[in-house]
A and B are shown apart, each in its own frame.
Chain A
Amino acid sequence: MTQLRVDHVSKDFALRGRADVLRVLEDVSLDICEGELIVLLGPSGCGKSTLLNIIAGFLQPTMGQVLHEDIPVSKPDRRRTVVFQDYALFPWMTLEKNVEFGLKAQGIAPAERTRIARSFLALVKLRGFEDHYPYEVSGGMKQRAAIARALAPDPDILLMDEPFGALDAQTRVLLQEELVRIVAATNRTVVFVTHSIDEAVFLADRIVVMSSHPGKIRSIHKVALPRPRTAETRSLPNFINLTQELWDSLKPQWHDEGANAVRSQHST
Chain B
Amino acid sequence: MGSPRLVGLINAVLLPSPTALFWAASDLLRSGTLFRHVSASIERVLVGFALASAVGLTLGVVLGWFRTLSDFVKPLVEALRPIPPIAWTPLAILWFGVGNAPSYFLVFIGAVFPVFVSTYSAVRNIERTQINAALCLGATPTMLIWDVLIPGALPMIFPGLRIALGVGWMCVVAAELIAAQSGLGYMIQQSRLLLQTQFVLTGMIVIGIIGFVMNAVMTAIERRLVPWQESSKGT
A binds B: yes
| Chain A interface residues (CB < 8 Å from chain B) | 53, 56-58, 75-78, 80-82, 84, 86, 88-93, 101-102, 104-106, 133-136, 149-150, 153, 159
Q: Establish whether residues B152 and A90, one from each chain, have CB atoms under 8 Å apart when the complex forms.
A: yes
Q: Establish whether residues A101 and B139, one from each chain, have CB atoms under 8 Å apart when the complex forms.
A: yes
Nearest CB of B to A104, in Å: 7
Q: Establish whether residues B138 and A82, one from each chain, have CB atoms under 8 Å apart when the complex forms.
A: no
Q: Establish whether residues B133 and A78, one from each chain, have CB atoms under 8 Å apart when the complex forms.
A: no
Determine which of B134, B154, B232 lies in contact with A101 in the assembled complex, contact meaning CB atoms within 8 Å.
Answer: B134
Task: Tell me whether B31 is interfacial, beta carbon within 8 Å.
Answer: no
For residue A101, which residues in chain B have a CB less than 8 angstroms away from its CB?
Answer: 134, 137, 139, 143, 147
Determine which of A81, A92, A105 lies in contact with B152 in the assembled complex, contact meaning CB atoms within 8 Å.
Answer: A92
Task: Tell me whether B97 is interfacial, beta carbon within 8 Å.
Answer: no
Interface of B is mostly: helix
- Given A101-B147, A135-B228, A135-B232, is A78 in contact with B138 using a C-beta cutoff of 8 Å? yes
Q: Establish whether residues B148 and A76, one from each chain, have CB atoms under 8 Å apart when the complex forms.
A: no
Q: Establish whether residues A78 and B136, one from each chain, have CB atoms under 8 Å apart when the complex forms.
A: yes
13 additional contacts, CB 8 Å, given A56-B132, A88-B132, A101-B134?
A53-B132, A57-B135, A58-B136, A84-B129, A88-B133, A92-B154, A93-B151, A101-B139, A105-B138, A133-B228, A133-B231, A135-B232, A159-B136
Q: Establish whether residues A104 and B132, one from each chain, have CB atoms under 8 Å apart when the complex forms.
A: no
Please provide the chain B residues from 141 to 159 with a CB less than 8 Å away from any CB of chain A in the complex: 143, 147-148, 151-152, 154
Nearest CB of B to A77, in Å: 6
Task: Tell me whether B19 is interfacial, beta carbon within 8 Å.
Answer: no
Task: Tell me whether B68 is interfacial, beta carbon within 8 Å.
Answer: no
Q: Establish whether residues B137 and A78, one from each chain, have CB atoms under 8 Å apart when the complex forms.
A: yes
Determine which of A80, A90, A133 lies in contact with B130 in the assembled complex, contact meaning CB atoms within 8 Å.
Answer: A90
- Given A81-B137, A133-B227, A135-B232, is A76 in contact with B132 using a C-beta cutoff of 8 Å? yes
For residue B235, which residues in chain A have a CB less than 8 angstroms away from its CB?
Answer: 135
- Given A90-B130, A92-B228, is A58 in contact with B137 using a C-beta cutoff of 8 Å? no
A53 to B129, CA, bound (A): 11
For residue B148, which residues in chain A have a CB less than 8 angstroms away from its CB?
Answer: 90
Please provide the chain B residues from 202 to 235 with a CB less than 8 Å away from any CB of chain A in the complex: 226-228, 231-232, 235
Task: Tell me whether B140 is interfacial, beta carbon within 8 Å.
Answer: yes
| Residue of B133, B139, B147 with highest tally of chain A CB at under 10 A | B133
- Contact flags B152-177 to A (C-beta < 8 A → 1, else 0): 10100000000000000000000000
For residue B227, which residues in chain A have a CB less than 8 angstroms away from its CB?
Answer: 133
Determine which of A133, A153, A159 lies in contact with B137 in the assembled complex, contact meaning CB atoms within 8 Å.
Answer: A153
- CB-defined A-B contacts under 8 Å, sample of 26: A53-B132, A81-B137, A82-B132, A82-B136, A84-B129, A84-B132, A88-B127, A88-B129, A90-B130, A90-B147, A90-B152, A92-B151, A92-B154, A92-B228, A101-B139, A101-B143, A101-B147, A104-B143, A105-B137, A105-B143, A106-B138, A133-B227, A133-B231, A134-B228, A135-B228, A149-B137
Q: Establish whether residues A86 and B129, one from each chain, have CB atoms under 8 Å apart when the complex forms.
A: yes
Nearest CB of A to B13, in Å: 55
Q: Establish whether residues A77 and B138, one from each chain, have CB atoms under 8 Å apart when the complex forms.
A: yes
Nearest CB of B to A59, in Å: 10
A57 to B231, CA, bound (A): 34
Q: Establish whether residues A77 and B140, one from each chain, have CB atoms under 8 Å apart when the complex forms.
A: no
Nearest CB of B to A193, in Å: 14
Residue of A nearest to B235 (CB): A135
Q: Establish whether residues B136 and A57, one from each chain, have CB atoms under 8 Å apart when the complex forms.
A: yes
